[in-house]
Structure 1
Amino acid sequence: MTTTIAKRQNGNLATSFGNVADHFLQNSLRRFFDDNFWEAGWPAGNVPVNVKEHEQHYEIDVIAPGFNREDFNVNIQDNLLTIGCNHTQEKQDQDTKTGWARNEYVQRSFSRTFTLDDSVDTNNVNAAYSNGILKLTIPKNEKTKKTARTIEIK
């Protein structure tokens, strides 16, 4: 990110409209050509995730619109669940009359890792991507599923 140090007149901010407009235009152009302006999505590791516990399973929703199902990689190694995504898109436009050409190359990626305990069945995890949400269902082990029962009072 670029920070601009602006010269002040008499210790005050620029007072004329022209100075304000120049400052705004310079910042806008600088931001336009700054690589960070074109980045889409979230900072690495900050993709929104919802985790919910149900009686029979856990549910993880990864909010990731604009990706394709093929972009995701979900794996479990030891007790770590890793959800990764890498999306690459290239777009080319060219106007032969004017000679203008545009070539945009977009890459978005993220990775999130969750530690799983012994209460889950890692062999039966399911994942589905629909409407911009990757939904993982992680079943609980039989021994850890909550069962309701009435306790006799003696």
Structure 2
Amino acid sequence: MAITRWEPFREIERLEPFREVDTLQRQLNRLFDRLMPTDGGERVGFAFVPAAELDETDDAIHLKLEVPGLERNDIHVEATPESISISGERKSETKTEENGVTRSEFRYGKFQRVIPLPSLIQHDQVQAEYKNGILRLTLPKAESERNKAVKVNIG
């Protein structure tokens, strides 16, 4: 009796639903390739994405972003009634040591983060403060959102 090698993927390729899974896998691989910056073809880790904290009150949405090591001029904020876009760049510092070895665990490079908001805001009234590596945004709610009442049906 001859031993033959079973190749399940050749049989799966003939089945249409599995082609969609294969397409999804290729798309996810491309997504992760874009997220993983390279340095001369070698992977160097995930791109810098600032941590965010969102707090909502009756009158405003308060957003804090952790962006240490940046200057005010390196941070760009754009507001729409539905979202906030924060972008910037953490520039690399060139350091050399006596033995010629430099080790850094800091993340450098450009970043962009778009945060969808839970309520509409007055995007022309946004206030920003940057202190000690924390960007604080006060996003006043639109008048229609402040006076919004929802009728509750009792079952």
Q: TM-score, normalised by structure 2?
A: 0.53
User: 4+ residue stretches of structure 1 with deviation over 4 A?
Assistant: 92-95, 100-104
The answer for the alignment partner of 1:54 in structure 2 is: 57
Alignment of 1:115-126 (within 5 A): 115-116=116-117, 119-126=120-127
Larger strand fraction of residues: 1
Query: Matched residues in 2 for 1:94 and 1:138: separation?
Result: 45
1:145 CA drift (Å): 2.1
Contact 1:92 1:101 in 2 (8 A): no
Query: Matched residues in 1 for 2:72 and 2:124: separation?
Result: 21
| 1:62 counterpart letter in structure 2 | L
The answer for the alignment partner of 1:109 in structure 2 is: 110
Contact 2:60 2:140 in 1 (8 A): yes
| 2:63 counterpart letter in structure 1 | I
1:102 CA drift (Å): 7.4
The answer for the alignment partner of 2:143 in structure 1 is: 142
Query: Matched residues in 1 for 2:121 and 2:43: separation?
Result: 42
Query: Matched residues in 1 for 2:128 and 2:134: separation?
Result: 10
Q: Paired residues, what number?
A: 105
1:26-58 deviation per Cα after TM superposition (whole angstroms, max 9, x unaligned)? xxxxxxxx762xx6xxx3374211000012100
1:118 CA drift (Å): 6.2
Contact 1:45 1:110 in 2 (8 A): yes
1:85 CA drift (Å): 1.7
Contact 2:81 2:120 in 1 (8 A): no
Query: Matched residues in 2 for 1:79 and 1:142: separation?
Result: 14
SS of the aligned residue for 2:73 comes to: helix
Q: TM-score, normalised by structure 1?
A: 0.53
Query: Matched residues in 2 for 1:127 and 1:84: separation?
Result: 14
Q: Which has the larger radius of gyration?
A: 1
1:143 CA drift (Å): 3.2
Query: Matched residues in 2 for 1:91 and 1:44: separation?
Result: 19
1:77 CA drift (Å): 4.9
For residue 72 of structure 1, the aligned residue among 75, 78, 88 is 75
Point out where structure 1 has 5 or more consecutive residues left out of the alignment: 1-33, 148-154
Point out where structure 2 has 5 or more consecutive residues left out of the alignment: 1-41, 149-155
Contact 1:119 1:144 in 2 (8 A): yes
